[in-house]
Structure 1
Amino acid sequence: MSRVDDAERFFVERYSCSQAVFAAFAPSFGIETSDALRLASALGGGLRAGSTCGAVLGALLTLGLARCDEACTSKSRHDVMDAVDTFHSRFLDRVGSLDCTGILGYDVRIPEEREIVHEHGLRDSVCLPAVRMAAEILEELLVDNDTSRRTP
């Protein structure tokens, strides 16, 4: 099973978007799945505020692991920012927004709108494809630019 499939599986198993993406990739960088799930647990639902999509945040955590060297040098931090810019651009092109509210079309901070999201099954029809897309883009970046230098 691929890491992209793992991200989708975690999300289907009811983990948050951030947990799903980060937990699928973190073991490649020596982080236990259980630790990855805990580390990303506060980032889902656009930081629980409808802001930056948790799938994006999980991917960005992974890019930090992949691109930043252990000394966190200025050069490696710039490498991370370049990868973040590329990720943002690709995600925007394919999904249309970086924010939960823009992706869902509803503001999850508003109880009535959050209820619509649940009633219409948007977690499965909108969020799941966004999780998969974030994982696919992340996989592209890890392969295309040899950003997986810390990957075993």
Structure 2
Amino acid sequence: MTREDRSEELFRSGFNCAQSVVGVFCDDFGIDLDTAMKLTECFGGGFGRMRLVCGAVSAMGIVSGMALSRGAGEGNTRAAVYGKVHELTDRFKENNGTIICAELLGLDKNTKYEAKPEARTEAYYKKRPCIQCIRECVRLAEEGLKEYLPEG
């Protein structure tokens, strides 16, 4: 199964957009899935369902850090991480016109949204582009970080 397919499977099983992207890269970087899911839960729905930056796009940044950051005390890798974030985000924006969750969903970005997530039904999946965005972010991360990922 491809990472894109696994990310869709994670999303359909109840994980949010950010979790569904980061989750498929955990094994590649020795990150345990449970910890990653806890750390990325707040990014869903455009950061806590505030409909700001798409959680899948934020997750590309997290994966960039997983690949490029040396961590605390290991030298400054921010320029490399930030550069990769710009590259991947620019590609997503080029394809979709925005990185803002509300705009991707066709919602008013000035509306204050409830923190409570919607029930996951077939209608939920049909009315939003989230699966497409998740799959695209996984693909962009794979392409942009291929030298840091195992083959296959």
Give the alignment's TM-score, normalised by structure 1: 0.82
**Do 1:7 and 1:24's aligned partners in 2 also have CA atoms closer than 8 Å?**
yes
The equivalent residue for 2:144 is: 141
Aligned residues: 143
Structure with a larger share of its residues in helix: 1
AA at the equivalent of 2:15: Y
The equivalent residue for 1:22 is: 22
The equivalent residue for 1:130 is: 133
CA drift of 1:6 comes to 1.3
AA at the equivalent of 1:101: A
The equivalent residue for 2:75 is: 73
Gaps of at least 5 residues in structure 2 are none
Counterpart CA distance in 2 for 1:87 and 1:8 is 19
AA at the equivalent of 2:75: T
The equivalent residue for 1:96 is: 97
**Do 1:6 and 1:24's aligned partners in 2 also have CA atoms closer than 8 Å?**
yes
Counterpart CA distance in 2 for 1:40 and 1:53 is 12
AA at the equivalent of 2:143: E
Counterpart CA distance in 2 for 1:124 and 1:14 is 16
3-state SS, counterpart of residue 70 of structure 2: coil
Counterpart CA distance in 2 for 1:119 and 1:134 is 22
Q: Report runs of 4+ in structure 1 exceeding 2 Å deviation.
A: 70-74, 107-111, 118-125
CA drift of 1:124 comes to 5.8
CA spacing shift, 1:2–1:122, aligned 2, 3 Å: closer
CA spacing shift, 1:73–1:27, aligned 2, 3 Å: same
Counterpart CA distance in 2 for 1:124 and 1:59 is 23
**Do 1:18 and 1:43's aligned partners in 2 also have CA atoms closer than 8 Å?**
yes
Counterpart CA distance in 2 for 1:33 and 1:124 is 28
CA drift of 1:131 comes to 0.6
Give the alignment's TM-score, normalised by structure 2: 0.82
CA spacing shift, 1:32–1:124, aligned 2, 3 Å: farther
The equivalent residue for 1:10 is: 10
**Do 2:7 and 2:138's aligned partners in 1 also have CA atoms closer than 8 Å?**
yes
Identity %: 29
What root-mean-square deviation, in Å, do the aligned CA atoms of Structure 1 and Structure 2 show? Answer: 2.5
**Do 1:4 and 1:139's aligned partners in 2 also have CA atoms closer than 8 Å?**
no
Counterpart CA distance in 1 for 2:54 and 2:140 is 14
